Structure 1
Amino acid sequence: MRIRLNWPVMILISLGTLLILFPLYMAITIALKNPEELAKSLFAFPTTFHWENFTNAIKMTNFFQALRNSALVTTSTVVLTLLSNSLVAYAIARNMDQKFFKGLYFYFISAMFIPFPIIMLPIVKLASAFHMTNLVGLTILHTVYALAFNVFVYVGYIRSIPVALEEAARVDGATTWSTFWRIIFPLMAPINATVGILVCLSTYNDFLLPLIIISDPSMYTLPLVQYIFQGQFNTDFNLAFSSYLMAMLPMIIIYLFAQKWIINGVTQGAVK
């Protein structure tokens, strides 16, 4: 049996693959060159691999301390988000027939359309007033800022879970609190994985919020310390791209192992 190839689709897939792989190729080749090779040819493969670029980048950025800060903020944000946002979404999803909860749902949805630069100044003022210009404050702000989108995703998924399960638990004497943690929350594993991965990626890669909140260099996250390579008159591209590759590696590994959870969670959450 001969299989027909859909050539227009194959061409589009090939072009899309090239568009994704070419920037990665550029990042790797630039990271392994010295300034002289960069000046000669930007696109050529390096003749000699300069692995010392990675060592110099680690020293200039205090890489491992910044990685520790990013890992701490990211892990704390993911855990706090899953525990708190799921509770808020559950309360809304199971009470959508009431005007208050329905209005609260649309209130959260409307927050998704507010650009972050508009609320930057109030956030800085509030964070300074409540002494939240540290990693703890950064974690709380990330959790709150992601609430709107997460409620939108969670509500759609929770409403697909049969209410009969909760009614049976109440008949057996379970409270609303125990029903959620023992029955509903375990059933939310796919959407929890999806939300957790998306929050992990966005928190780890965020530059703007730490920039306006954190002033102590010892608390800088990875996106902030990488800004050191950009000077007023020149940029150390080879060291910068070496640092970028090292910073990308943890998230690439996490995403490769967890991408099926993202697709599965989004697909199931779309079914009401």
Structure 2
Amino acid sequence: MTHRTKLHKEKVNWPITIILMVVAAGLILFPLYLTISIALRDPSDMVNLLAFPKKLNFSNFAEAWKMTNYPLKFRNTLFITVINLVFTIITNSAVSYAITRNYKKSKFFKGMYYYFISAMFIPFSVLMLPLVKQAALFHVDNIGGITFLYIIFGLPMNIFLYSGYIKSIPEAIDEAATIDGASPLQTFTRVIFPMLKPMTATVAILSFMWTWNDFLMPLILLSKPEQQTLQLSQYVFQGQFTTQYNLAFASYLLVILPILVVYIFCQKWIISGVVSGAVKQ
């Protein structure tokens, strides 16, 4: 009887499953097909966008590369993303550890936790104008300044993720390290931080994708052309009366290609990290 019940519960409704898979694949693949199709077209072949291009024009990618000054903008974007990634992991994990371990012991750390988490509910559009004025005042409206701001703006979400994972690590491990003579810093760097690998992978990938794809903050802070990121370079295809859609879409593919490769190879760590962070002690 138990065996029959188990088989009944594990039964899969394959027609519904297949329909949902086809719909999901269509929602993902159809926009991708349109993007690639437009990127490979001649300007004269823009009538029926659903049809496959009559002639594949791969020179659009070379032209888009040249018009956007892709190597320079790629270096700027990569520098901002990598530096933000390194310092985000180091600082945000340490802050999260200090807050989580002292959350029940100190009202200060408890207040700091709610202070950072509350920042998640403030829209960036509310902060735009004050941010522009203060960035100009402190001369951080440049690549170095915007990298620092990414680290600060990532704190609320990263503290939320890290704290959820640290709560699942027994405090007895910290106590054992203290008995062995480890300082709080040594306990974190040598004992706790290596145990945060799943969540660190999640924070790293999400921070990478957010920084690489962000358009709004570079738009309001980076005014010099030589400091612009790949996202801002997409403006070059928009004229006063016309838009070069074939070159623009070719450029879009060049921009999303690195982040797509990163996501394809690292998506399992995103899922495992988020699931692991949901487990509480």
In structure 1, what is the equivalent of residue 159 of structure 2? 151
**Which among 1, 4, 9 is matched to residue 17 of structure 2?**
9
Q: Note closer, same or farther for the CA distance 1:173–1:234 as it changes in structure 2 (3 Å cut).
A: same
Q: C-alpha distance in 1, partners of 2:265/2:65?
A: 26
Letter in 1 for 2:275: T
Q: C-alpha distance in 1, partners of 2:265/2:151?
A: 24
Task: Check if 1:86 corresponds to 2:93.
Answer: yes
- The offset of 1:5, in angstroms, is 4.5
Q: C-alpha distance in 2, partners of 1:36/1:44?
A: 14
**Equivalent residue runs for 1:36-185 within 5 Å:** 36-38=44-46, 40-97=47-104, 98-185=106-193
Q: C-alpha distance in 2, partners of 1:10/1:109?
A: 40
Q: C-alpha distance in 1, partners of 2:181/2:13?
A: 60
Structure 2: runs of 5 or more not aligned: 1-10
Q: C-alpha distance in 2, partners of 1:241/1:170?
A: 57
Q: C-alpha distance in 2, partners of 1:174/1:234?
A: 65
- The offset of 1:96, in angstroms, is 1.0
**Which among 30, 34, 56 is matched to residue 26 of structure 1?**
34
**Equivalent residue runs for 1:111-260 within 5 Å:** 111-260=119-268
Letter in 2 for 1:194: T
Taking only the aligned residue pairs, the percentage that are identical comes to 51
Q: C-alpha distance in 1, partners of 2:195/2:151?
A: 22
How many residues get paired?
Answer: 270
Q: Deviations over 1:8-55 (max 9, x none)?
A: 2321221111011100000000000011101x2111101211011001
- The offset of 1:65, in angstroms, is 0.7
Structure 1: runs of 5 or more not aligned: none
Letter in 2 for 1:224: L
- Deviating runs (4+, > 3 A) in structure 1? none
Q: Note closer, same or farther for the CA distance 1:18–1:130 as it changes in structure 2 (3 Å cut).
A: same
Q: C-alpha distance in 1, partners of 2:270/2:59?
A: 37
SS at match of 2:181: coil
Letter in 2 for 1:259: Q
Q: C-alpha distance in 1, partners of 2:239/2:158?
A: 38
TM-score (norm 1): 0.97
SS at match of 2:126: helix
- The offset of 1:4, in angstroms, is 5.9
What is the Cα-based RMSD across aligned positions, in Å?
1.2
SS at match of 2:44: helix
